[in-house]
Amino acid sequence: MPKHAWKKTAMLAAGFGASLLWVTSMATAHDPHTAPTTVDMFAMNSARSPAAAVRTQAAAQQRAAEVAAARRQAIQAAARRAEKKAAAERAARDGRASELREASWVTPVRGYVLGAPYGAGGRLWARRHSGQDFVVSTGTPVHAAHGGTVVAAGWGGAYGYNIVIRHDAHTYTQYGHLSRIDVWVGRRVTTDQLIGRSGSTGNSTGPHLHFEVRTQPVYGYAIAPLTFLRSHGVRV
């Protein structure tokens, strides 16, 4: 290439580069907000994102706490309802059991062996045996065979320490040869209530309970105790 042609080309290239530089500079000069705007938006987004995340997390925790509280309240309310229902059922059962006890009869002692029966004869009795003997050791708990009112409690001669209970106008029970008396005249007792302890006081050949059923409170009106108890559903 001729020397003068090379110089011309170089000048054109230099001018073109200067033109590009000028155009770029002018674009930058006439749009001064481009770079700063980009930097400002990034800074704002960077500042806002952690705060928004904290608020979102706090709201989620609040909702979870409210749900947990509502669940606890529901569980507690259900427990209270269940306890109230159970208490009512227990009261109903206890009431029915009490009514059944009052309406029922029981044996006066537990763990016994049947001894001398009603009507037995012999030198031990002036006439006939007026009750049923339940052979048990001294101190065995003695219970009321049925609910009623105590009409006698104390020493009874040949019966030793004894108790008589009135159940109705024509039904009485007697408990003889006791070692201990735990009730008194006028005391209201319930079926199966502890009234004393067995022994061998009075006209007795050994520890046992002498049990009578009478139509009147005094001697001479006895009826067969086992027959009576069995007629009232007692297994004996």
Alpha-carbon distances, residue 52 vs 57, 58, 62, 82, 131 (angstroms): 9, 10, 15, 45, 95
Structure-token pair, residue 13:
């290239």
CB 156 within 8 A of CB 202: yes
Residue 202 region, left (φ>0) first, then alpha (ψ -120 to 50), else beta? left
Distance CA 152, CA 162 (A): 8
Distance CA 129, CA 120 (A): 5
Told to judge if 33 belongs to the known catalytic residues of this protein, a careful annotator would answer: no
Choice among 129, 146, 177, 208 that is catalytic: 208
Paired strand residues for 235:
none
Alpha-carbon distances, residue 204 vs 17, 20, 69, 180, 225 (angstroms): 144, 141, 73, 15, 19
Whose tokens are 């005391």? That residue is 187
Q: 3-class SS at 81?
A: helix
DSSP 117: P
Helix (H) or strand (E) holding 222: strand 222-223
Residues with a catalytic annotation lie at 208
